[in-house]
Amino acid sequence: MDFKQAKRNRKLDRWVIILLLSTLSLSINFLITKFNASIDLTPEKKYSLSRESLALLNKMEEPVDIVITIKNDNQLPKVIQKLLLDLELLLENFEQESTKQVIRVHHVNVDVPKIKGTDLQKYNITEPNIIALYSANRGQKIIFRYQSKDSTNPYDLSQSFQSKDANARQLIWESGFYSDWKETGQGVLEPKVFRGEQVIIESILALVGPKKEKNVAYFTRGHGEASPTDFDGETGFSEFRRIVEESNLDVTTIDLSVIDAIPPNAKLIIIAEPRGIFLDKEIANLRDFINRQDGSVIMCIDPVSQNAVLDNPVFGLRNILREWDIRCHDMLIHDGNLANFDYFSGAYYLSTYPSAKTHEIIRPLMEKEFRIFSSECRPVESLSDPKSNFISKELLYSSRDSWALSGWAKRKKPYKKNRLLDIDGPVPIITISETKFKKKKSKIAVIGSSSILSNKNLKRNTGNSFLCRNIIRWVNEDIELLDIPPTKLDRYTITMSDDDFKNMTYLSVLIPALVVALGFFVSWLRKEL
């Protein structure tokens, strides 16, 4: 090989190296543009959208803008900063995931004059400290509002002083973004479960999902029932009302004794913690509502205490329940095992689920091993018969250590089991029933304790909240929303799935290996030339 040939080979080597490196670079960039390179390393994929959510997003009929006007700075309470951080990571996935309609996320400073001609100009966003959804044709839906000022006066003895941090925690609590609040040891409640995905999905579908005729959920009155406007932090039902309204139902009350028929706009009748007997006329209205109007009923029936009116039995509702293959016993479930008792809340754990043929209402709770909190319960049993026109199923049981007491109001404590009259545990507490006819949409859910749906348990306990939402979705035929699970929070542990580990291996090993292989190829090519 002469000198000129060697020089030409050296130039050729340089061009070959440049060409191969350019090809490799373009290939890597192409792959990056085609695939989402982000990896969720949080426990249980906290910031990743579930397959159920992705399927529901395809039901969007219009694009939606998610607007955050809260200024994220160090002056905010820590709990608000935590919410903004969790939402930022989650909303990135909402933007990136491919759907039929576009989801855009904007952080807006309302103090800065708007630039004319922007996409957000048409919404006229002026309110600070909110998280809201906007649609060009369907308006807006505010899902969180932060009020930074102290809501109470420390010098007014009629008010109890709350700091900004305490007020922020209360707002976070009421928003539903977090659940399963536990005491940290300093008297402060901290959430253990993040529900951001559920809240965002439900809000998006409520705003830009398929349009549904808005029906009404009626709370019965006239029998000492719980009120949907009772905001008592312990026993109130205002949180239950809020969950019902999230399902696109208006909420009001009704007196069945002064009407000839339940209004045709009624979708759901709620009988919450009755203390009086339903009259024959009221039973007739309920029976007509269920059988002819395809309406659904949710009953929360507590055990009868010594001070309550005689059950008669089950406040006159027993016959209509038996027609739907449900028996509600006039008994009290007693659990003597202190391991099933929560000293902080004063409630019992309920975590015994059906062993087979799990219903979609309860399946996600079983998978996540969530517990239901309750106080006094009565048995609610399925009487399912293969020849019946109804399908009734038991969803939740007391523990194996429990039993149901007959005539409990007259029995002395500590309770002793009467093997002839009492029922051994586990005892069913929640039972549902529906018709076998596909054209009939009527459904009944009977819960043997109103405390399961009280403000205290719905706000603090994920299991109660998730169970309540799934029952409402079931009677409202929002079946698709039943399987979106909440995700548990873990601040200190980072986990990686097998797929994530493989992806990390590819990124850290494959590319360097390609570079080394390229070097060997160039060296071989030079020898051949």
Which two structure tokens, joined as six digits, stand for 335? 């659990």
Range of the structural domain that residue 32 is part of: 3-40+498-528
The pairing of beta strand 390-397 with beta strand 380-382 = unpaired
- Name the DSSP letter for residue 100: S
**Four-residue CA torsion sign, 231, 233, 234, 238:** positive
| Angle separating helix axes 511-528 and 3-34, nearest 10 degrees | 160
Prior bond to 486 cis, omega within 30? Answer: no
Kindly state whether residues 511 and 457 are assigned to the same domain.
no
Q: How far apart are the C-alpha atoms of 245 and 69, rounded to whole Å?
A: 25
Residue at 452 is within a domain: yes
Q: How far apart are the C-alpha atoms of 351 and 371, rounded to whole Å?
A: 5
The CATH number given to whatever domain includes residue 282 is 3.40.50.880
Residue at 520 is within a domain: yes
Kindly state whether residues 125 and 249 are assigned to the same domain.
no
Which two structure tokens, joined as six digits, stand for 130? 């909110």
Kindly state whether residues 80 and 107 are assigned to the same domain.
yes
With b for 16 or more beta-carbon neighbours within 10 A and e for fewer, the 20-41 pattern comes to eeeeeeeeeeeeeeeeeeeebe
Return the ∠ at Cα 248 (arms to 230 and 262), rounded to 5°: 75
List beta partners, residue 495: none
Q: How far apart are the C-alpha atoms of 181 and 173, rounded to whole Å?
A: 9
Kindly state whether residues 345 and 412 are assigned to the same domain.
yes
Residue 438 has φ and ψ, to the nearest 5°, of -65, -30
Kindly state whether residues 35 and 47 are assigned to the same domain.
no
Give, for all 529 residues of the chain, the pLDDT tens digit: 555 565 566 666 666 677 776 676 666 655 555 544 445 545 555 556 777 788 888 888 899 999 999 988 888 888 899 999 999 888 988 888 767 788 999 998 888 766 555 567 778 888 889 999 999 888 888 899 887 755 555 544 444 455 778 788 878 877 878 877 776 766 677 787 888 888 898 888 888 888 777 789 999 999 999 999 998 888 899 999 989 988 888 999 999 999 999 999 999 999 999 988 999 999 999 999 998 888 999 999 998 865 445 566 789 999 999 999 999 998 999 988 888 887 766 788 898 998 776 788 988 888 878 889 998 899 999 997 778 889 999 999 999 999 999 888 788 888 888 888 899 989 999 999 998 887 788 999 999 999 999 998 988 888 898 899 899 989 988 765 665 656 666 543 333 445 554 555 555 556 666 666 666 666 665 555 5
Residues in the chain: 529
- How many domains is the chain built from? 3
List beta partners, residue 239: none
Which residue in the block uniquely carries the two structure tokens 């009939």?
A: 440
Using only C-alpha atoms, what is the Rg of the chain? 30
Kindly state whether residues 12 and 75 are assigned to the same domain.
no
Which residue in the block uniquely carries the two structure tokens 């106080």?
A: 375
Kindly state whether residues 313 and 414 are assigned to the same domain.
yes
Kindly state whether residues 300 and 390 are assigned to the same domain.
yes
Max CA distance (Å), the chain = 115
Whether 421 contacts 274, CB under 8 Å: no
Which residue in the block uniquely carries the two structure tokens 């003597």?
A: 336
Kindly state whether residues 105 and 222 are assigned to the same domain.
no
Closest CA to 271 of 444, 398, 441: 444
